[in-house]
A and B are shown apart, each in its own frame.
Chain A
Amino acid sequence: MAERVSSLLRRSVEHLKDEVPDSYRVLVAELGPMVVELDVDGEVFSLRGGDRLQVSDGAADVAGARIVTSRTTILDVLDARVELGEAVESAKVSVRGSLDDVQRAHDSLLAYVHAAIRASSQPGLLSELRAGSP
């Protein structure tokens, strides 16, 4: 059985904290105290900001941004088959929240990518994400 996306994200941010601590701190600062709720193929979990990043299972009571997408779309965007903007416009990625929170979520995504590309553990996690695609 494929590893859940929430578990992969949890492992990813833990690796970032150890491998690229400076980039991790930039990501923590970017997200601030905001909570982002994610729904990937019906698996609902939350990324919580604060002093450190936490990934928790289940829906968030209060979320700044709510994102609904699929594992296939995440891979399409990471593999550059689809641009993020196109994925949003074609409703493959749904984002809800105030404009400020959506902007903060987007800036946090970029900070996450900047951190992830600097960490050697991430290609392996991407392979595991790929292994679970339909």
Chain B
Amino acid sequence: MSAVLAGSDFLRAPVLATARPEGFKEWHHFVVHGRGFRLLINFSLTNEVFGAGQVRLAPRVIVIAHDEKWTGAIERFDGRALDVSADLGELTIGGNRMTVLPDGYRVAIDLPDNSIRGELHFASASRPFVVNNQPVGDGRMSWLFVPRLRAEGWLRIGGREHRIEDDLAYHDHNWGRFWWGDDFGWTWGTILPTKPGDPWSMVFLQMTDRSRLRYLSQALYVWHHDEPAAIFRHAAVQTRSDGVLGRAADCTLPPPMRLLLDGEVPGVPERVEITATRAGDRVHAEFRSQSYARLAQPSEVCLDRSTVLCETGGTARASGTINGEDVDFVGTGVFEFLYG
């Protein structure tokens, strides 16, 4: 699988955002399913309009982690702190760097204002997959994901140092032109088994309208070892959400957004069930939310609204049969519920 990632997972912003800047967004997202803790790292570039119709690329780094509760930071940087390597494989934002390697990623984090530092190496353990031009409101988004990687390294956050030693991880890379607050919502989930030797990995995506009443597209991607084993799309997937998790978000970031998101809305479902059936294959996956952090950003469509991403950690259980092989594992899930 050498060079597969370097060939397909490169920064799009220098070409696409320059050619047509309006609404362009791009981010690299990493989730570590650590033993006893979860870690999310996100490097993002957002084209934003300011003043009299001028546009600039705003770089941000997000790091949140959960052991007893979610904590972390979103830091926005000046455009001068941004650098993209000539081969489009390395993104530097201040003291933070993400490098695409032939078969993985190297990530360095340095957010001294929030006492967050770390160095991680992600080795791909599964073939990447690309989904192009997914409708999101009036825009389109493409994404590349790697359902399973193995992570090594360390991260210091909240006064504690976490060692990451051969833990399973997930990566996605998203880019496109769309507007936060437009008529869309999504549920995005990574499910990985607790036993690292278990061969199954799952990624779930459901796009809805803003009110989350109309389902526009959905898919469950199931990988066996490093290869796609089954991809269930649209009507092959049925979902059901139950209840509302009976606890408030552990944190809202950036913290001043707490003034605008007073109270506990939006929350997250207590349980999400996914049933997928196609051509003799059948999978049932259940995600139970345990805790979440709210990441909020201003709506680009409405001046007095916010878009909220609820990053939710929980337990997962999956069962079924694919290509005659049994699927049966317990694991962890990290689901993102986007409210526009």
Q: Chain A residues in contact with chain B, CB under 8 A?
A: 18-23, 26, 77-80, 83-85, 109-111, 113-120, 123, 126
Interface residues of B (CB under 8 A from A): 50-52, 56, 58, 76, 78, 251-252, 254-260, 262, 297-298, 303-304
Shortest CB-to-CB span from B258 to chain A, Å, is 4
Residue of A nearest to B304 (CB): A114
Whether the Cβ atoms of B303 and A26 lie closer than 8 Å is yes
Residue of chain B at shortest CB distance from A127: B113
Query: How far is it, in angstroms, between the C-alpha of A31 and the C-alpha of B73 when the chains are bound?
Result: 32
Query: Smallest Cβ distance from B70 to chain A, in angstroms?
Result: 13
B258 touches A114 (CB 8 A): no
- Tell me the dominant secondary structure on chain A's binding face: helix
The minimal Cβ–Cβ distance linking B79 to chain A, given in whole angstroms, is: 9
With contacts A20-B50, A114-B303, A117-B298 taken as known, whether A83 is within 8 angstroms of B257 at the C-beta atoms is no
Q: Which of A22, A83, A116 contacts B256 (CB 8 A)?
A: A116
Considering the complex of A and B, which 7 residue pairs feature the smallest CB-CB distances, nearest first? A80-B255, A80-B258, A79-B255, A78-B256, A113-B259, A118-B298, A117-B298
25 contacts between A and B (CB under 8 A): A19-B50, A19-B51, A21-B52, A23-B303, A26-B304, A77-B259, A78-B255, A80-B252, A80-B255, A80-B258, A83-B258, A84-B262, A109-B259, A110-B259, A110-B304, A113-B256, A114-B298, A115-B303, A117-B256, A118-B298, A118-B303, A119-B50, A120-B50, A120-B58, A120-B76
Shortest Cβ gap from A52 to chain B (Å): 17
B259 proximity list for chain A (CB < 8 A): 77-78, 84, 109-110, 113
Q: Are A117 and B257 in contact (CB under 8 A)?
A: yes
Main secondary structure of the interface of B (DSSP, over half): mixed
- Are B303 and A85 in contact, CB atoms less than 8 angstroms apart? no
With CB as the reference atom, state the residue of chain B lying closest to A130: B113
Which residues on the B side are within 8 Å of A123 (C-beta)?
76
Bound complex: CA A118 to CA B301 (Å): 12
Expressed in whole angstroms, the Cα–Cα distance for A7 and B193 within the complex equals: 55
CB distance from A69 to the nearest CB of B (A): 14
Contacting pair B262 A113 (CB below 8 A) = no
15 additional A-B pairs beyond A79-B256, A110-B304, A114-B260, beta carbons within 8 Å, are: A19-B50, A20-B50, A21-B51, A22-B303, A26-B303, A83-B262, A84-B259, A109-B259, A111-B304, A114-B298, A116-B256, A117-B254, A117-B257, A118-B298, A126-B256
Of B58, B251, B262, the most chain A CB neighbours within 10 A belong to: B262
Does B255 lie within 8 Å of A113, measured CB to CB?
A: no
Interface centre among A20, A23, A80, A126, by most B CB within 10 Å? A80
Select from chain B the residue with minimum beta-carbon distance to A82.
B258
B303 and A113 form a contact (CB under 8 A): no
The answer for the CA separation of A60 and B62 in the assembled complex, in Å, is 42
- Give CA–CA (A18, B54) in the complex, Å: 12
Report Cα–Cα, A113/B50, bound state, in Å. Answer: 16
* In the complex, residue of chain A having the shortest beta-carbon distance to the beta carbon of B56: A120
- Per the bound structure, the CA–CA distance linking A39 and B260 in Å amounts to 23
- How far apart are the CA atoms of A116 and B304 in the complex, in Å? 12
Contact of B251 among A26, A80, A83 (CB under 8 A): A80
Smallest CB-CB separation from B261: which chain A residue?
A80
Q: How far is the CA of A20 from the CA of B259 in the complex (A)?
A: 19
Minimum Cβ distance to chain A for residue B235 (Å):
40
Q: Which residues of B contact A19 (CB under 8 A)?
A: 50-51
Which of chain A's residues have a CB closer than 8 A to the CB of B258? 80, 83
A contact residues around B257 at 8 Å (CB): 117
When chains A and B are docked, how far (Å) is the Cα of A42 from the Cα of B166?
Answer: 56
Q: How far is the CA of A123 from the CA of B58 in the complex (A)?
A: 13
List residues of chain B with CB within 8 A of the CB of A18: 51
Among A21, A116, A117, the one with the most B-chain Cβ atoms within 10 Å of its Cβ is A117
B50 lies within 8 A of A85 (CB): no
CB contacts (< 8 Å) of A110 on chain B: these are 259-260, 304
| Least distance between A104 CB and chain B CB atoms (Å) | 15
| B256 neighbours in A (Cβ, 8 Å) | 78-80, 113, 116-117, 126
Chain B residues with CB under 8 Å of A77's CB are 259
Chain B: which residue is nearest A115 at the CB level?
A: B303
Shortest beta-carbon distance from A55 to chain B in Å: 20
Contacts of B52 in A (CB 8 A): 21
Give the nearest-CB partner of A22 in chain B: B303
> Which residues of chain A are within 8 angstroms of B76 by Cβ–Cβ distance?
120, 123
